[in-house]
Amino acid sequence: MREQELIKLLDDMSIMEKIGELNQIPGEYYKETMTATGENTTLNFPKELIKTIGSALNVSDPELIVKIQKEHIENHPHHIPMLFMLDIIHGLDTTFPIPLAQGCSFDPELVKTLSSAAAKEACVSGLHVTFSPMVDLCRDARWGRVMESSGEDTYLNSVMAKAAVEGYQGKDLTEEGTISSCVKHFAAYGAVEGGREYASVDISERNLREYYLPPYKAACDAGSGMLMTSFNTIGGIPSTANKHIMKDILRDEWNYDGVVITDYGSLSNMESHGISEKDDVLSEYAINATVDIEMCIGRYYQGLQKLINEGKISEKQIDDAVLRILKLKNRLGLFENPYRFANSEKAKEICRSKKMMETAYKAVNQTSVLLKNEDKSLPLKKDEKIAFIGPFLDSHDLLGGWPGNLKYRSEDKSVLDIIENDYPDNHYLFAKGCEMLGSEEPMLKRRKLPFEENQNARNEKIDKAIEVAQKADKVVMLLGEHPRVGGEITSKVDIRIPKIQQELFDAVSKVNENVIVVLFNHRPLDITEISGKAKSILDVWFPGSMGAKGIVDMLFGINSPTGRLSMSFPYGVGQEPIYYGLLPTDHSTQVSDTFVTGYIDCPLEPLYSFGEGLTYTDFEYSDFSLNKKTLAENETLTVSVNVKNIGQRDGYETVQLYFRDVFASVSRPTKQLIRFEKVFIKKGETKEVLFYLTTEDFKFYNFDMNYDYEPGEIKIFVGHDSRTNECKSIELM
Ligand code: BGC
């Protein structure tokens, strides 16, 4: 449809039809009644609103979607099709590694491929929008939702945000295999106090703009069809009411013309925030902040009607919001093709197909991070006597928090299945060792999860594990967080592995000093004790549908782990929030070296820092050079470095470039990622890696909050990870 026709359509719509567009209905409604016009028993939505409702959440069955859409179009006075939305966080039917792990790939092409694969499954299933990517900057591992983001770094998050949007949306949203993205949660949800879920955020304007907002902007600039508000307040103002971030920044500064949706209940939550219990007051805040759709609760329609009747808001405000939604529907081609590509027969062919599974498999080693590899204990050699121990050994659930389709949670192969099928050998010994959780876990009060109750059974399992560990040359221990303790409402103050597993680790590592830990986790954990004792640690996060095969092949060296940390691992929970590149501060320049920042009982740096990760070969850096000593506007600085593969295998190295603005009108980070490149280098080969920078790259919010660069020295660091000290200076003119 041409824009003129959309405007004409808008003109023809009644106010009730318009308000219908601004509301979303939970899919449960249709599952219950199976008809768009049936009696609604659970919700507060009146029939006349449902007739003109703009979208639905959580229906993913293509046949049902077609049925609902058909009825809806027939009943709608202007036959406007609905949008169907769902959270597809790391895949729909095929689950890929969690987004935090995808961040570890340092490979935007991979993120694009995985998002595009997820879009293909979603599109054929009849969906139009995914509530992804989540690009909240995450620097506190206590917050359970860190698994949904690509981590602690502004630049990496921005690159991955763009890649995800491009992957979901393709070049043209009318094409098969595409869906609209919805970037979330705007804004700064990752900065909640103490990592507490739904807590408040108090953040300076500079911190917000400099570090937290760029990833959302990158997604918007990449054309994300939608954006979602967040549950948190910022400086006391709920995001869903926040005119400053939404109207001033998003709409006016960034010119974002996509659709803004509340988070599930975030309009209503303003009541919990103590703003008001009245629908109209809450709705007035939201519409003034240019929020277009209320997700599922049904208070917006009540409030908006009242506001219009009382003349407190203009119909123009409603029209602007409706037009944005109509434009998205049009961008998706829904007016010409309201069912788009929903096709249940084709869905059976595409979803969880061999090709999808191959894509999932290939992602495992690229997102896994080898944190430690003493004596090169990995990869395993086939003739070694190896004991495999741990509660993840026979687990069929390696999907982690928030897989798309829960029905596949326990359908995939376990690590044990793969070893027995693909590596049949009587050298291998197995013991489960323990269940994932023991009865002492405090989280069990809040979460219904299975746990070990019986002390005798617990002792027997550990004894068996000790027995097999004693007989083995090496022990591979598969340990970690419960697969359902990641994502929303999983904030924790204890970020160690469950106690029952720590006991197992202690018992096994006492009898065998060659312990290799395969770690399953949604967030950086406190693994300081484990790290002190284990020879190797391979962090596989939650690796998805092909996790087991990916892990076993990686352990045996068929593939090498090539991921790098997208979020730092702390020495202990007391260090949180922790991230690389803190602002410089201490008294050492004036007083003495005693007066330095940090703790007296713990290093300032994290245990494993951002960007760290090993692989099965080694690299040597040389000939680091800058092509000039000064850099003026419109000039380009070329940074070059040679990287040689000095190990015994071909491999990938992620070359990382950081900078520090030495003196500036405001304090600047001690190190900031500015570029990276993941390069494949053959054994013995040397590759020259080049980076190009301009003064644009050094702009920041200065003393007067102007976004600009300042003349003076910039240190450019190159190396393997954020700990690199290899640096050269350039003078900005
Ligand atoms: C979450 C969002 C999600 C929405 C819809 C909310 O509780 O915060 O991230 O997209 O639910 O499922």
pLDDT digits (tens, 9 = 90+) for 638-672: 999 999 999 999 999 999 999 999 999 999 999 99
Is the distance from the beta carbon of residue 610 to the nearest atom of ligand 1 less than 6 Å? no
Query: The domain 619-732 is classified under which CATH number: 2.60.40.10, 3.30.420.40, 3.40.190.290, 1.10.10.10?
Result: 2.60.40.10
Nearest CA to ligand 1 atom 7: 264
Is the distance from the beta carbon of residue 263 to the nearest atom of ligand 1 less than 6 Å? yes
- 433 with 417: CB under 8 angstroms? no
Is the distance from the beta carbon of residue 488 to the nearest atom of ligand 1 less than 6 Å? yes
How far does the centroid of ligand 1 lie from the alpha carbon of residue 43, in Å? 18
- 542 with 401: CB under 8 angstroms? yes
- 523 with 146: CB under 8 angstroms? yes
How far does the centroid of ligand 1 lie from the alpha carbon of residue 704, in Å? 37
pLDDT of residue 591: 60
Listed in sequence order, the residues at least 6 apart from 705 whose beta carbon sits closer than 8 Å to its beta carbon are: 205, 206
Q: How far apart are CA 306 and CA 303, in angstroms?
A: 5
Read off the pLDDT of residues 272-324 as tens digits, 9 standing for 90 and up. 999 999 999 999 999 999 999 999 998 999 999 999 999 999 999 999 999 99
- Crossing angle of the two packed helices 415-422 and 547-555, in degrees rounded to 10: 60
- Pairing of β 226-229 and β 259-261: parallel
Count the helices and strands in the chain (H runs, E runs). 22, 25
How far does the centroid of ligand 1 lie from the alpha carbon of residue 55, in Å? 15
- Ligand 1 atom nearest 295 alpha carbon: 5
The confidence band for 684, taking pLDDT boundaries of 50, 70 and 90, is: very high
Rg over CA atoms, the chain: 26
Average pLDDT over residues 691-704: 98
Q: Dihedral angle at the C-alpha atoms of 468, 471, 476, 480, nearest 10 degrees?
A: 30
Is the distance from the beta carbon of residue 87 to the nearest atom of ligand 1 less than 6 Å? yes
Candidate from 229, 263, 490 with most ligand 1 atoms within 8 A of CB, to mutate: 263
221 is an active site residue? no
Candidate from 60, 145, 488, 489 with most ligand 1 atoms within 8 A of CB, to mutate: 488
Candidate from 57, 90, 127, 131 with most ligand 1 atoms within 8 A of CB, to mutate: 131
pLDDT of residue 36: 43
Q: What stretch of H or E contains 292?
A: none
Evaluate if pTM is beyond 0.95.
yes
How far does the centroid of ligand 1 lie from the alpha carbon of residue 165, in Å? 18
Mean pLDDT value across the chain: 96
Structure tokens of 607? 């245990």
Is the distance from the beta carbon of residue 210 to the nearest atom of ligand 1 less than 6 Å? no
- E strand intervals along 199-254: 226-229, 233-234, 237-238
Residue limits of CATH 3.40.50.1700 in the chain: 364-561
- 717 with 726: CB under 8 angstroms? yes
CATH of domain 364-561: 3.40.50.1700
Say which of 93, 107, 136, 263 is annotated catalytic: 263
Is the distance from the beta carbon of residue 197 to the nearest atom of ligand 1 less than 6 Å? no
Q: How far apart are CA 393 and CA 417, in angstroms?
A: 9
Angle 326-331-333 from CA coordinates, rounded to 5°: 95
299: phi then psi, degrees, rounded to nearest 5: -100, -20
Give alpha helix (H) positions in 538-609.
547-555
Read off the pLDDT of residues 61-75 as tens digits, 9 standing for 90 and up. 999 999 999 999 999
Using CA atoms, how far residue 230 sits from 26, 238, 571, in Å, is 18, 8, 30
- Ligand 1 atom nearest 58 alpha carbon: 12
Structure tokens of 733? 């003119």
pLDDT of residue 624: 98
Residue limits of CATH 2.60.40.10 in the chain: 619-732
Q: How far apart are CA 43 and CA 296, in angstroms?
A: 9
Q: Dihedral angle at the C-alpha atoms of 96, 99, 101, 103, nearest 10 degrees?
A: 130
- Ligand 1 atom nearest 134 alpha carbon: 9
